[in-house]
Amino acid sequence: MSNFAIFTDSGCDISLDVLAKWDVRCACLSFKFTDEDTVYLNNELPTNEFYKAMRAGRQAKTSAVNSETFRMMFEEALKEGKDVLYLGLSSGISNTYAAGHLAAEQLKAEYPDRKILAVDPLSASAGLGMWVSIAVEMRDAGKTIEETAKYIEDNRLSMCHWFTVDDLVYLKRGGRISPAVAFVGGMLGIKPVMHVDNDGHLANVNKVRGRRAAIRAMAERYAALAKDKENGTIFISQADCLADAETLVADIQALTGRTKGADHITDVGTVIGSHSGPGTLALFFLGSER
């Protein structure tokens, strides 16, 4: 087995239990509700409680991981004699990757005999989680840290992110849409179908009327873009809307003849969910283009 440690951050929306099974170390972003002073790490409040609070009108603000946290985590692995590979939340969404990259660069001078690589997969939520899974498979298959990092960098624009939200108010708060668009869209039941573009930013692609149509549109994107429609890996993230995730899988199967389900259905964590809200549904797969 290759002698390198894989690091990520909680923007990957893979549970800490699963990451532990994969032997992946994770730095947690944090959030706080605007009506209290308590700061929570990404995993400290159950997601169902978090989304219940959001539906009740509470708002949350998030904070990136700082470089000192990454430095301490990376150094622990370096002292164990391991090289370090960090895969971070898209730099187009968060400053977390920049903090991890800074820590990696600082440690290179102190550990010249070790390899310390930071890669920005330009991915978020379980799209980042899927890259972490791929890195784990490559590490466990005996690939080197350089081979693993290069594969992700060379193929990162193949990771498709398609998602929809249930309530436009959260996109309005984040400045993604105007108050007027949010008001009219809410009145008419308009749902956006969005993706993460080639620069790692959220991009609005089109709007449909009704939740069911939005889910169908996401399945159609899979049918149009997936490299391996029948057997390719699918990750899905859902924010307290598991039934909709299952509907999405069924739609994909109906459109493509795929018999297997999703490889992973994960919770949209509290940090990502602070910006997208309850009812967020996201689909990730390798495609011909983003």
Q: What pLDDT score was predicted for residue 249? A: 98
Residue corresponding to tokens 């959260």: 170
Write out pLDDT tens, residues 159-174. Answer: 999 999 887 776 666 5
pLDDT band at 183 (very low <50, low <70, confident <90, very high): very low
**Dist CA 163 CA 123 (whole Å):** 13
Asked: is 4-156 a CATH 1.20.272.10 domain? The reply is no
Distances from the Cα of 137 to the Cαs of 3, 18, 25, 145, in angstroms? 14, 14, 15, 12
Fold of 158-286: Hypothetical Protein Tm841; Chain: A;domain 3 (3.30.1180)
**Dist CA 18 CA 16 (whole Å):** 5
Q: What pLDDT score was predicted for residue 43? A: 87
Give span(s): CATH 3.40.50.10170, the chain. 4-156
**Dist CA 128 CA 156 (whole Å):** 10
Q: What pLDDT score was predicted for residue 144? A: 97
What is the DSSP secondary structure assignment for residue 144, as one 8-state letter? -
* For residues 226-230, average pLDDT: 96
pLDDT band at 241 (very low <50, low <70, confident <90, very high): very high
First to last CA, the chain: 32
132: pLDDT strictly greater than 50: yes
Helix (H, G, I), strand (E, B) or coil at 51: helix
Q: What is the mean pLDDT of the chain?
A: 92
State if pTM tops 0.85: yes
Pick the closest to residue 214 from 189, 232, 236 (CA basis).
189
Give span(s): CATH 3.30.1180.10, the chain. 158-286
Backbone angles phi, psi at 155, to 5 degrees: -115, 10
**Dist CA 100 CA 91 (whole Å):** 11
